[in-house]
Structure 1
Amino acid sequence: MRAEQAVRESAELGEGPTWDPVGGRLIWVDILGSRVHTYEPGSGRRTVLATEQHVGAAKPRTDGGLVVNLRDGVGGYAPDGTFGWLHRDPVPGRRGNDAAVAPDGSLWAGSMAYDETPGGGNLIRLAPDGTATTVLDDVTVSNGTGWSPDGKRMYYVDTPTRRIDVFDVDGEHVSGRRELATVEEGAGFPDGLTVDADGCVWVALWDGGALRRYTPSGTLDRVVPLPVRRPTACAFGGSDLRDLYVSSARVGLDRPTPLEGSLLVFPGAGQGLSQPRFG
């Protein structure tokens, strides 16, 4: 596997790549830049949407708009760009971070304290009708979230723990939290993740300059070095869901290279899963 530059960008904190098959585009955000980016590999067309707050994640909606995890809660953009709050819960010193859409169309949105105070964040489930339920509290840096191909397992990362955890899923409820794998000291910290068609978990290693792939039993079976020090998340995309996209950050780096903060791609890296839309 060899990384290619998909989009040259200087994102401070690029995050959350998501493939939108209806639009044939890759969506990702620059959290600290308050920007939602899109990229259409077929045409090379790009768009940039400026948000009024730091934006942790952006996912496609069934109506063609976007749902966004912002500083003060979760909002939505209609196709014409009109914005409205879906769930507003401002907490001083806290912002939204990574998020994912579950198989049932709900949004699982995480948060964290700006200063990474232990226990300063949470993970909520937002139903399409706007009903919010707290799934996890006492979270420090809520990050990667994904589901197994059969929807019976949920994978989750609270980055400072260095763990990828797994839960059993029963409808909208999760239980039986346990460790799938731990990233050892010196190898970086687990950040965003995606699950492939084999049920394996791909995770980006912040400060580790690599991706890792773990089997459903937790066995490490692949390490992919990257030309960036702070990869943040990964997602399969393209018309056949075989290209693996990786977002990256340049925040906090001395002398960042031109690639850091850009969107990378590994063509033909594997087989991804179609991701549901919010709603």
Structure 2
Amino acid sequence: MQAAVYDERICELGEGPFWHPERGQLFWFDILGRRLLTRAADRTQEWRFDEHVSAAGWIDRDTLLIASETGLYRFGIATGARSLLHPLEAENPETRSNDGRADPFGGFWIGTMGKRAQDGAGAIYRMHEGRIVKLFDAITIPNSICFAPDGRTAYFADTPRRQILRQPLDAAGWPTGAPAVFVDLNAEGLNPDGSVVDAEGALWNAQWGAGRVARYLPDGTLDRVVPVGGRHSSCPAFGGAGLRDLFVTTAREGLSDPQPGDGVVYSAVQTIAGLAEHRVSI
């Protein structure tokens, strides 16, 4: 099932797509372009920032939580105004935010990484009930942050290790015990980027450099592949009618010969529905 172009605006590093369930609207980022973009039907809009921005969740119909290289912010969709909720490695000019997602408990997980992808320079944090806690450190490129439908499992990856990990969670959404390998992509030479979980508990993973999104069943078995035209497929999200549209961001970063399909957003209708993004509680 080949994906079609959903939005033709070029992103150097398209990332962080999410469907606002109350607005019926897709948002995504161009991290290196320092932009937040959106599309609702035929209406498009974008906002520019003075620092890298990478991931978001929704607080209410008119307010987002946005992760930047220095903090987590409230962001007014109508006004473009933002206010700081929590600093995020603001004292370290060498790092920025990367992949992130709201969890089923109203928390928000966010990864950081070196701006030059320095080995082990990043970490993964959770914001919950007014505080930020570091969950994992020595991460190079944090990705694939997503959650099982019952809220008792989180997934994440450190892309250069080419493994997606499964992390058990306790009844409040905190990690308990050590993570285990969910999918190992080393034998195939595939690079796991962003992921999202569908209503059946399967994980859809965008694979950087492979121009595709792969669906893995809860036991880690490969179920299907959706090709996209952009070689650097970076992150999927479900939205649209019945949450059956699979949206995929792509990137041009690192390509010596970018083609027209590199860096745009794609979509493909699926027979399986996604899950609505969880509200962030602040």
TM over 0.5: yes
Structure 1 counterpart of 2:174: 173
Question: More displaced, 176-185 or 16-25?
Answer: 176-185
Deviations 1:76-132 (A, max 9, x none): 213432211111131121000011000111110110011222210011111253x11
Tell me the SS of whatever aligns to 2:242.
Answer: coil
Structure 2 counterpart of 1:54: 52
Is the 1:187–1:205 contact (alpha carbons within 8 Å) kept by the matching residues of 2? Answer: no
1:105 counterpart = 2:106: yes
1:154 counterpart = 2:165: no
Structure 2 counterpart of 1:194: 196
Structure 2 counterpart of 1:143: 143
The Cα shift of 1:185 comes to 4.9
Unaligned runs of 5+ in 1: none
Tell me the SS of whatever aligns to 1:240.
Answer: helix
Unaligned runs of 5+ in 2: none
Tell me the SS of whatever aligns to 1:16.
Answer: strand
Alignment-mate amino acid for residue 26 of structure 2: L
Tell me the distance in 1 between the aligned counterparts of 2:154 and 2:173: 11
* Counterparts in 2 of 1:187 and 1:229: CA distance versus 1, 3 Å: farther
Out of 205, 208, 212, which is 2:207 matched to?
205
Tell me the SS of whatever aligns to 2:60.
Answer: coil
Is the 2:20–2:58 contact (alpha carbons within 8 Å) kept by the matching residues of 1? Answer: yes
Deviations 1:49-69 (A, max 9, x none): 112211111222226211111
Which 4+ residue blocks in structure 1 deviate beyond 3 angstroms?
none
Deviations 1:162-184 (A, max 9, x none): 00100111113113310001113
* Counterparts in 2 of 1:62 and 1:140: CA distance versus 1, 3 Å: same
Structure 1 counterpart of 2:82: 83
TM-score by length of 2: 0.94
Is the 1:243–1:265 contact (alpha carbons within 8 Å) kept by the matching residues of 2? Answer: yes
Aligned-pair identity in percent equals 35
Is the 1:245–1:265 contact (alpha carbons within 8 Å) kept by the matching residues of 2? Answer: yes
The Cα shift of 1:229 comes to 0.8
1:224 counterpart = 2:226: yes
Is the 2:141–2:158 contact (alpha carbons within 8 Å) kept by the matching residues of 1? Answer: yes
Structure 2 counterpart of 1:260: 262
The Cα shift of 1:222 comes to 1.4
Alignment-mate amino acid for residue 34 of structure 1: R
Alignment-mate amino acid for residue 102 of structure 2: V
The Cα shift of 1:269 comes to 4.7
Q: Superposition RMSD on alpha carbons, in Å?
A: 1.4
Is the 1:98–1:192 contact (alpha carbons within 8 Å) kept by the matching residues of 2? Answer: yes
Tell me the distance in 1 between the aligned counterparts of 2:27 and 2:74: 15
Alignment-mate amino acid for residue 33 of structure 2: G
Alignment-mate amino acid for residue 146 of structure 1: C
Tell me the distance in 2 between the aligned counterparts of 1:53 and 1:98: 16
Structure 1 counterpart of 2:71: 73
Tell me the SS of whatever aligns to 1:61.
Answer: strand
Tell me the SS of whatever aligns to 1:160.
Answer: helix
Alignment-mate amino acid for residue 14 of structure 1: G
Alignment-mate amino acid for residue 234 of structure 2: T
